[in-house]
């Protein structure tokens, strides 16, 4: 099974940490975030990885070239233009060919989620995509019906909503996205013509007519280290 690590982000929230290096190479516990991600995926049974790059792309490429992680790692180069998650996935399609599901993973998360269990659940379902979700405080929530199908999205701060299935929206449970998702290769058939778009926008559009599922995770470690205060917490935990 193949995976893609989204590592092209500018890391603007980390300020001084990303002035001279990309977010993917910010260290926690003596290891760059990218190394944490690669090792997590390899230990979860992933056999081949694609990494997209943009900010300080040359440094990420150098890091991958000088370290042998024991599995093929391909570079999807977005140096000229940052394509967001959906556009980044679309550009990386040539590396992700095949009939197996594909795992997508944000570089700035640290967790002990059982990814193999989520993959098994995805394979048992008929979902076009499975989003690993959890209960945690955030501004933006995905909404799921009783069958764990995506039916909408809400921003608690602004009140903005996106309704995919009106009959389920009001009573749907609200869960936070973990930054880990599993897709079927057929999703490339439904991508928009433009080259730059967020993957979540695509999921919410497809959820009106296709099955996009949520997989609930209750593991005891999940951290988004894209903010300075969260990065400090992670460094204390991993010190």
The structure tokens listed for 200 are: 């979540």
The model's pTM is 0.96
What pLDDT, on a 0 to 100 scale, did the predictor assign at position 215? 98
Q: What share of the chain is helix, strand, coil (3-state, %, to 5)?
A: 35, 30, 40
Q: Delimit the domains of the chain by residue range.
A: 2-237
CA distance 220 to 25: 25
Instruction: Please state which of the four CATH numbers 3.40.50.2300, 3.40.50.720, 3.30.70.1880, 3.90.550.10 is assigned to the domain occupying 2-237.
Output: 3.90.550.10
Is the pLDDT score of 155 beyond 90?
A: yes
What pLDDT, on the 0 to 100 scale, is given for residue 132?
98
pLDDT of residue 15 exceeding 90: no
User: Which H helix or E strand runs over 202?
Assistant: helix 199-206
* pLDDT reading at 142 higher than 90: yes
216-235 average pLDDT score: 94
Place of tokens 């951290």: 223
End-to-end CA distance of the chain: 32
Per DSSP, the residues of 49-64 read: EEEEE-TTHHHHHHHH
pLDDT digits (tens, 9 = 90+) for 107-121: 999 999 999 999 999
Which of the 8 DSSP states describes residue 113? -
Question: What pLDDT is attached to residue 122?
Answer: 98
Mean pLDDT (the chain, rounded) = 96
Enter the tokens of residue 214: 């949520």
Per-residue pLDDT of 23-40, as tens digits, reads 999 999 999 999 999 999
Q: What is the arithmetic mean of pLDDT over 210-223? A: 96
Whether pLDDT at 191 is above 90: yes
Q: Are 195 and 90 in contact (CB under 8 A)?
A: yes
CB neighbour class for 160 (10 Å; exposed up to 12, middle 13-18, buried from 19): exposed
pLDDT at 239 over 90: no
For residue range 158-179, list pLDDT tens digits in order. Answer: 999 999 999 999 999 999 999 9
What is the pLDDT at residue 30? 95
pLDDT at 2: 98
Of all residues in the chain, the percent with pLDDT exceeding 70 is: 100
Q: Each residue of 50-88: pLDDT tens digit?
A: 999 999 999 999 999 999 999 999 999 999 999 999 999
Which tokens go with 211?
């099955």
Q: Are 207 and 151 spatial neighbours (Cβ–Cβ below 8 Å)? A: yes
């Amino acid at each position: 099974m193949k995976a893609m690590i989204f590592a092209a982000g500018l890391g603007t929230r980390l300020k001084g940490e990303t002035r001279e290096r990309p977010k993917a190479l910010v260290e926690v516990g003596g290891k760059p975030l990218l190394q944490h991600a690669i090792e997590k995926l390899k230990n979860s049974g992933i056999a081949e990885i694609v990494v997209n790059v943009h900010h300080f792309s040359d440094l990420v490429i150098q890091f991958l070239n000088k370290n042998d992680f024991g599995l093929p790692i391909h570079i999807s180069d977005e140096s000229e233009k940052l394509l967001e998650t959906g556009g980044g996935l679309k550009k990386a399609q040539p590396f992700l060919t095949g009939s197996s599901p594909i795992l997508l993973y944000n570089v700035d998360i640290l967790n002990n989620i059982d990814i193999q269990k989520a993959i098994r659940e995805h394979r048992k379902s008929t979902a076009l995509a499975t989003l690993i979700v959890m209960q945690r405080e955030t501004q933006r929530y995905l909404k799921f019906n009783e069958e764990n199908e995506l039916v909408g999205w809400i921003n608690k701060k602004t009140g903005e909503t996106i309704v995919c299935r009106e009959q389920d929206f009001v009573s749907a449970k609200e869960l936070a996205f973990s930054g880990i998702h599993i897709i079927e290769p057929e999703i490339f058939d439904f991508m928009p013509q433009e080259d730059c778009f967020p993957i979540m926008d695509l999921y919410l559009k497809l959820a009106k007519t296709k099955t996009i599922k949520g997989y609930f995770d209750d593991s005891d470690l999940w951290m988004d280290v894209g903010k300075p205060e969260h990065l400090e917490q992670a460094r204390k935990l991993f010190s």
